[in-house]
């Protein structure tokens, strides 16, 4: 059927998209999450917590390393009484380097990078194991770091993919 006023068939009119329909379709496509990414839920807060915590704990770890490098007499426990007897200077350098890498991985997690999640899970597990060895020198601090590392591993492993969709929406 042809519309006399416009000289177009009914099928041609049906196939045309009005500007308001185009805006509505674009809005729906923007609101819809990507097929490979889950929609952000309330658990994305755990991932943000993990990223921020990784950055803060990485700084603390680096400061602990600096103390081991510059003031080996600071520790009450001698190096021979640790679970793994090492030189405090060498142990300090290890903590310093590990702290810097944990901070960088925390920044990557906050940016929604998959490699940041993988590195974050690995480093949080490694940091927890390292703090078991550090336990005789600082038991209370080591216990806190181990507990926080377990929370970070949980957040990144279970809900880490949600941060990508969350950061894509312009919130982070």
In a domain, residue 15? The reply is: no
Q: Is the pLDDT of residue 62 over 80?
A: yes
pTM, 2 dp? 0.63
**Number of structural domains the chain divides into:** 1
pLDDT per residue as tens digits for the range 94-135: 889 988 998 999 898 888 888 888 998 998 898 888 788 778
Domain of residue 151 covers: 50-73+84-159
- Interatomic CA distance for residues 167 and 160, integer angstroms: 12
In a domain, residue 67? The reply is: yes
In a domain, residue 26? The reply is: no
- pLDDT band for 40, please (50, 70, 90 cuts): low
Q: What is the pLDDT of residue 30?
A: 57
Q: What is the pLDDT of residue 103?
A: 92
């Amino acid at each position: 059927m042809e519309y006399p006023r416009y000289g177009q068939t009914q099928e041609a009119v049906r196939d045309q998209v009005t500007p308001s329909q185009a805006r509505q379709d674009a809005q729906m496509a923007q609101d819809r999450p990507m097929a490979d990414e889950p929609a952000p839920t309330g658990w994305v807060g755990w991932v943000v917590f993990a990223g921020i915590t990784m950055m803060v704990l990485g700084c603390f770890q680096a400061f602990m390393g600096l103390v081991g490098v510059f003031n080996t007499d600071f520790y009450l426990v001698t190096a021979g009484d640790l679970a793994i007897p090492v030189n405090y200077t060498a142990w300090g350098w290890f903590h310093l380097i590990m702290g810097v890498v944990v901070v960088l991985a925390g920044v990557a997690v906050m940016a929604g990078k998959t490699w940041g999640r993988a590195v974050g899970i690995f480093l949080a597990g490694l940091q927890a194991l390292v703090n078991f060895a550090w336990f005789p020198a600082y038991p209370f601090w080591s216990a806190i770091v181990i507990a926080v590392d377990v929370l970070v591993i949980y957040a990144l492993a279970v809900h880490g993919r949600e941060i990508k969709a969350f950061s894509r929406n312009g919130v982070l």
